[in-house]
Amino acid sequence: MNLTKILAGLLIVAAIGLAVGAWMLSRQPNRLVMQSAASAPAVAPKTPSEQHAVVVAAKAIAAGQRLVAEDVKVAQMPAAVANSFDSTDLVVGRTTVMALPADAPLFDQNLLSGLALQLESGQRAVSIAVKEAMAAGNHVRPGDFVDVFFTLDGKSEHASVDTQARLLLSRSRVLAYGPASVESPPPTAAQRKAQQEEASSAVGRRGSGSRDQQAGPASANTAVLAVPLEDVERLTLAEKYGQLTLALRHPDDMAVPDSSMFAALPTVLQPVAGRLKKGEQLQGADRSFAGLRFKDLASGADAKRTRSPAASPVLQQAGAARVPAPHLAPRQNTVEMYQGTAVQIVSY
């Protein structure tokens, strides 16, 4: 009897234990899910992609247009654009070399560069042929200032002139000399020496070979000068029919001839009567368009050709006497009496 009660009690305890175990197992998945959620790392919030500033055209831009602030803007792009600009300050004031559509990125090759930017207003870059002996012994460098002298031997077939040499252009800036220019200057003496030493070391290591490094600057066949527009035709005629010599001068020497002391050379083309005021001369592009003859460049202004008929008192007096005034009674007969340069009108 007692044994039966003991077994019944054990079975009851076992049943209770199984029930508790089943209840615990039913709660285990929720606990695992909660633990997994608690142990999972926090997900970082999604951030926008990095942007890159690029200068683009704000509207269609024509070739040869000088850029102003309204022509360009800064656009944000998801990727960097190689060789572009990131600030409008870097392009405003520069000139385009090609037409650009709206929203097109700007690159350095789209903008004007070169010797043209070295010219001042009213100047032109003119190339002339040079010889070493006539160019300060090949010591001219880009950026130097030179005087251009003009020499004629008097044997020209185009005009009868005396042998002469005179200053043609004063204080002209050299923009380029041979392959070197103010933008890509030649190596300095120290740089040439370093190049020679490096070349000598290379030759010594090889044990043979030629030394092609020059001891001095390379010879030049041409020079590019910054010349006022009104002097371009004088320079081109002088180079064609005479000999040019470049004389180096100190950059601080500002002395130049006073052109107002000399008579203006006559032009090939003459302006329409009445378009110029009395005593006024053609200037700038109008003067260059009118042109210049070599014989006038070689012999100077001809007083007979440049003097206006109104400047002759004899012609004025004679012309006034020959044209009767409308309010005067017509004369029957007149005779002109000449005594030297004086003219006297006698009526009878």
Predicted confidence band of residue 274 (pLDDT cuts 50, 70, 90): confident
| Distance of alpha carbon 282 from alpha carbon 292, whole angstroms | 12
- What CATH class has 50-113? alpha beta
Predicted confidence band of residue 54 (pLDDT cuts 50, 70, 90): very high
Strand 180-181 and strand 164-177: the pairing is: antiparallel
Predicted confidence band of residue 342 (pLDDT cuts 50, 70, 90): low
Predicted confidence band of residue 39 (pLDDT cuts 50, 70, 90): low
| Apex 192 CA angle, 191 and 198, nearest 5 | 90
The pLDDT of residue 175: 95
Pick from 147, 156, 132: which is nearest to 242 by CA? 156
- What does each C-alpha distance from 86 to 56, 72, 76 come to in angstroms? 9, 11, 10
What percent of the chain stands above pLDDT 70? 72
The pLDDT of residue 236: 95
| Distance of alpha carbon 21 from alpha carbon 17, whole angstroms | 6
Q: What is the mean pLDDT of residues 36-51?
A: 60
The pLDDT of residue 310: 39
The pLDDT of residue 195: 77
Strand 243-249 and strand 164-177: the pairing is: unpaired
Instruction: Note the pLDDT tens digit of each residue in 126-178.
Output: 999 998 888 888 899 999 999 999 998 877 665 677 889 999 999 999 999 99
> Which range among 12-26, 176-190, 232-246 has the greatest average pLDDT?
232-246
Q: Is the pLDDT of residue 65 over 80?
A: yes
Predicted confidence band of residue 71 (pLDDT cuts 50, 70, 90): very high
The pLDDT of residue 278: 85
Instruction: Note the pLDDT tens digit of each residue in 78-92.
Output: 988 888 999 999 999
Q: What is the mean pLDDT of residues 325-335?
A: 49
User: Looking at 140-258, which runs of residues are DSSP E strands?
Assistant: 145-152, 164-177, 180-181, 222-228, 243-249
Predicted confidence band of residue 332 (pLDDT cuts 50, 70, 90): low
The pLDDT of residue 313: 38
Q: Is the pLDDT of residue 76 over 70?
A: yes
Predicted confidence band of residue 6 (pLDDT cuts 50, 70, 90): confident
| Distance of alpha carbon 18 from alpha carbon 306, whole angstroms | 135
| Distance of alpha carbon 77 from alpha carbon 88, whole angstroms | 16
Coil, helix or strand at residue 301: coil
The domain spans of the chain are: 50-113, 118-263, 309-347
What percent of the chain stands above pLDDT 90? 41
Instruction: Note the pLDDT tens digit of each residue in 286-325.
Output: 999 999 999 899 888 764 444 444 333 333 343 444 444 4
